[in-house]
Amino acid sequence: MRRGRWSSPCTNLVEWYARPPHRELMPKSFGRLFTVGRLDAESEGLILLTNQGDLAQRLAHPKHKVEKEYRVKLDRPPDEAVLRQMEKGVRLKEGLAKAEKVFSSSRLEVRMILRQGMKRQIRLMFRTLGFTVERLKRTRIGGLELGHLAPGAWRVLSAHEAGKLEEKP
């Protein structure tokens, strides 16, 4: 059983690698790999790879409500009312988009925890409220954090980290 994590760079290289960009870079001995955590071309951060389809499904599908954490840099500072609105919900074409938790980490940056998985959810929520997302980085999926993995780098998870993925939310 193999699992690895990948830090997706925020560059055009993501497009160059093709979709999904990371499988071609993995050793063939890893076998078939399933992706957990899509990122659009403008985003960066943690993507998990596993050869266990059932685990990938449990971690990726919104019905399982696995937390995913993001750092979001905005074009201007949000006030407390905006952060609370993100938690109450923002009406999008796809339905009501909600953040589990949103808090300010600096003047222009917020940390946001999601359990939903709508396409481009964070960008659309902020756009609806009049903000532009300047940088979006996924830092955590479930109990696994990105840490200091460099953009474009990958590594095999330790047994302890793999165990964190098995834990139910």
Which residues are known catalytic residues? 40
Measuring CA to CA, how many Å separate 22 from each of 34, 95, 159? 11, 31, 22
One DSSP character per residue, 94-163 reads: TEEE--SEEEESSSSEEEEEES---TTHHHHHHHHTT--EEEEEEEEETTEE-TTPPTT-EEEPPHHHHH
Helix axis angle for 53-60 and 159-166, nearest 10°, is: 60
